[in-house]
């Protein structure tokens, strides 16, 4: 009995490129074995096998785009018999079709390569990941003219950089301006081996994906960072009491839970921080929901899970969700839907150290709050200096949506809420 294997629920993503096919016709797979790998701008996803069986037919190729419900393979379930002849027949079919498909893919771009502009349409048939295509668009390199050095001719970022250097070299030789796209000169390559031993270490997939997104945000958003401090002396005493009880119940209560709760209250009072800039640039999109992203440090790089509807959850529920999402991030088990829909993000370095930093706004959000390690400091109370536990706050914002005075008011609101935990219940 044959069964169609379809792409399962992958959240709000659609038209996601297939970057790798992990099985071949005739392979026997077990339930939950990975079949194909998809890569969006935000995450890499493996599509698992829904059941044990034999691959009879593969319906997609690397570079194709798929959405939820797309048929990617045909299986013969494990309990079926007499499938050996079918394997031989099915193996021949793709071989006959492959040259035709390959010819179509290779011929179509050639007719346009000399004159076609660098556009999304021109990139649609190129065998490269979304992050590489985005990088190539940014630095104005036509992928139709780039030779891929990756597996099966896949174009890697290094191939784009090599092509970019070949474009820049003639301009430099002729005395023209050297540009790496958007008027920004590229950083010249340096042979560090001339100075001592070196080693090339491959970046994690998450860093390869998130890097271009961060670069895009930094280039497009006029960042300003407002630094302040909040007195969390009383709050931390209460947090420790809650945490003692929470340990017995199998979870932890961290400062981040309180900051999320306080941030939601501050966002309600200053809605601009919970908005996005409209694509036409002349209005803000006001959001009446509060999904708070938080940066999670994992062995593979930084990930940003999202606590949905944080305004409807109490400290205990937020604490438990923080713990479960953080564990899923570290274990590489986050789903795409777990990282979508944030309206405001918090990046906490409190467990590591530091006094302040400039977190990069996670577009299309317009603000991000950075936390570093709290410290005991002498604070004047009107009569004397008293030791108080002070929490540094670093608020980066998009100056197109938020001005400096509003940023200062937002931080004052946040400080007030963190300074008197009773106001978190209002």
Active-site residue numbers? 399
From CA 50, how far away is CA 48, in angstroms rounded? 6
Give the CB-side neighbour count of residue 414, counting CA atoms within 13 A.
30
End-to-end C-alpha distance for the chain, whole angstroms: 60
Distances (CA, A) of 193 to 149, 158, 161, 203, 320: 23, 18, 19, 19, 49
Strands 344-348 and 367-371, bridge-based pairing: parallel
Task: Respond yes or no on whether the N-terminal peptide bond of residue 14 is cis (omega within 30° of 0).
Answer: no
Contacts by 332-335, CB closer than 8 A, 24 or more apart: 332/298, 332/300, 334/43, 334/303, 334/305, 335/11
Which residues neighbour 386 within 8 Å (Cβ) at sequence distance 6 or greater? 378, 379
Distances (CA, A) of 294 to 13, 127, 226: 21, 33, 19
Token pair belonging to 316? 């205990």
In terms of Cα–Cα distance, which of 274, 188, 164, 180 is closest to 219? 180
Distances (CA, A) of 6 to 72, 80, 139, 416: 6, 20, 36, 51
Tokens 């998130």 belong to residue: 210
Query: For the chain, how are helix, strand and coil distributed in percent, rounded to 5?
Result: 40, 25, 40
Token pair belonging to 272? 């601009």
Which residues neighbour 72 within 8 Å (Cβ) at sequence distance 6 or greater? 5, 6, 7, 18, 35, 36, 47, 58, 59, 60, 66
CB 214 within 8 A of CB 303: no
């Amino acid at each position: 009995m044959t069964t169609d294997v379809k792409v399962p629920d992958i959240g709000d993503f659609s038209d996601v490129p297939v970057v790798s096919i992990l099985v071949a016709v005739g392979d026997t797979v077990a339930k939950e074995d990975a079949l194909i790998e998809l890569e969006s701008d935000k995450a890499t996803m493996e599509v698992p096998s829904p059941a044990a069986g034999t691959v009879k037919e593969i319906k997609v190729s690397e570079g194709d785009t798929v959405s939820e419900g797309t048929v990617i393979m045909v299986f013969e379930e494990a309990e079926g018999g007499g499938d050996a002849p079918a394997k031989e027949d099915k193996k021949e079919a793709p071989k006959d079709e492959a040259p035709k498909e390959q010819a179509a893919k290779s011929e179509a771009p050639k007719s346009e390569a000399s004159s076609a502009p660098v556009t999304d349409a021109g990139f649609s048939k190129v065998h490269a990941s979304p992050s590489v295509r985005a990088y190539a668009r940014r630095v104005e390199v036509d992928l139709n003219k780039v030779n891929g050095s990756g597996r099966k001719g896949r174009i890697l970022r290094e191939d784009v950089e090599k092509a970019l250097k070949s474009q820049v070299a003639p301009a430099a030789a002729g005395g023209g301006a050297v540009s790496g796209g958007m008027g920004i000169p590229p950083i010249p390559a340096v042979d560090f081996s001339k100075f001592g031993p070196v080693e090339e270490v491959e970046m994690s997939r998450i860093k390869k994906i998130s890097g271009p997104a961060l670069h895009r945000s930094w280039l497009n958003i006029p960042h300003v960072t407002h630094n302040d401090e909040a007195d969390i002396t009383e709050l931390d005493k209460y947090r420790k009491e809650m945490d003692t009880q929470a340990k017995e119940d199998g979870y932890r209560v961290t400062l981040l839970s309180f900051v999320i709760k306080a941030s939601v209250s501050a966002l309600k009072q200053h809605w601009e921080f919970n908005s996005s800039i409209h694509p036409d640039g002349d209005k803000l999109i006001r959001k009446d929901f509060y999904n708070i992203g938080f940066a999670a440090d994992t062995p593979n790089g930084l990930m940003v899970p999202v606590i949905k509807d944080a305004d409807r959850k109490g400290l205990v529920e937020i604490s438990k969700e923080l713990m479960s999402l953080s564990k899923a991030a570290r274990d590489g088990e986050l789903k795409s839907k777990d990282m979508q829909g944030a309206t405001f993000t918090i990046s906490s370095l409190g467990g590591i150290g530091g006094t302040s930093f400039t977190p990069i706004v996670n577009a299309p959000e317009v603000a991000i709050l950075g936390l570093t390690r709290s410290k005991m400091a002498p604070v004047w109370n009107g009569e004397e200096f008293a030791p108080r536990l002070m929490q540094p706050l670093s608020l980066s914002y998009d100056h197109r949506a938020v001005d400096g005075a509003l940023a200062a008011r937002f931080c004052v609101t946040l400080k007030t809420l963190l300074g008197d935990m009773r106001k978190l219940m209002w």
